[in-house]
Amino acid sequence: MQKHYYELSIKPDTYYELYLDLISDLTTEALEELDGTIICRSEEPLENIKKGIELFTIELSSAFDTQIKCDLNYEQKENEDWINKYKDSITPVEAGEFYIHPSWNDDKDGKINIIIDPALAFGSGHHDTTSSCLDLISKYGSNGQTLLDVGCGSGILGIAASKLGMYVDICDTDPISIENSADNFKLNNVDLKNHWIGSATKANNTYNIVVANIVADVLVMISQDLKETVKDDGILILSGILAKYEEKVLKKFKQYNIIETIKKGDWVTITLKKVNN
């Protein structure tokens, strides 16, 4: 990568499309259009393109017998290491016993480290709902228990449970999430038991802990399926709930006692345990 690059901004007061066509013919470099301005960037000098646009403006003014203005701004700028700049913007997160960081950051001593690189699937630990679920898994999960993560996203919650010695199954209606989760399990050197595309309705087992970090309406819709996957003495962690929809969700789980509620920002995460009749 060169130390500098060149940027030419072209802002005509009229005949914008004609200028855009001209610049597209003059260069194969990528162009950006922003608020009536055409921006060309290149590691090669752009003086010839600038002169061409100046001549074009003169000829265009003559052809239409009117004064056409085209503001040009030409600068040499310092190139940045955009990849490392992006990496620096991704900060690690601590939640419960866990320390979640991208692969280019080091582990943290005294914490259970989880590697999650940014991807299309939801779940890097930064969102309030994810960090709340991690807090609760850290608190209630233990070696030898079973856990089902419904709507697994990046797989972060299942990975956390696996690192506590739990046996983990995951599911998600999005195939990309399942693929991304499987990759993240491998990246973290933990075993993934069963995984499927779909929801809790496809589960063949019951679990000590079932966690569903989705949204309130979906939690309401699949409430019966979630109940059927929890062992009689198990717990259910529900998250992704906006505070204003908390009661709407709880109405579907009247046979469960509330063990704990975590509120962060506008979001609520609820831990429930089935009432023994």
Single-letter amino acid, residue 90: I
Q: What is the pLDDT of residue 121?
A: 45
Q: Taking Cα atoms as reference points, which of 199, 120, 127 lies closest to residue 157?
A: 127
pTM, rounded to two decimals: 0.69
How large a percentage of the chain has pLDDT more than 70? 93
Mean per-residue pLDDT, 259-277:
89
Mean pLDDT of the chain: 90
CATH homologous superfamily of 117-274: Vaccinia Virus protein VP39 (3.40.50.150)
DSSP strand pairing (31-34 vs 207-213): unpaired
262: CB partners within 8 A, 6+ apart:
132, 135, 136, 268, 269
Residue 226's pLDDT band (boundaries 50, 70, 90)? very high
Residue 86's pLDDT band (boundaries 50, 70, 90)? low
The Cα 12–Cα 202 span in angstroms is 60
Provide the residue ranges of all domains of the chain, joining segments of one domain with +: 4-79, 117-274
**127 phi/psi in degrees, rounded to 5:** -70, 145
Mean per-residue pLDDT, 211-219:
94
Q: Taking Cα atoms as reference points, which of 144, 269, 275, 271 lies closest to residue 215?
A: 269
Q: What is the pLDDT of residue 179?
A: 92
Tell me the per-residue pLDDT of 113-157, one tens digit each, with 9 for 90 and over: 999 887 644 556 678 899 999 999 999 999 999 999 999 999 999
- The dihedral of CA 64, 67, 70, 74: what is its sign? positive
Mean per-residue pLDDT, 170-196:
92
Q: What is the pLDDT of residue 85?
A: 65
Which residue matches tokens 């992006």? 86
Looking at CATH, the fold of the domain delimited by 4-79 is given as: Alpha-Beta Plaits (3.30.70)
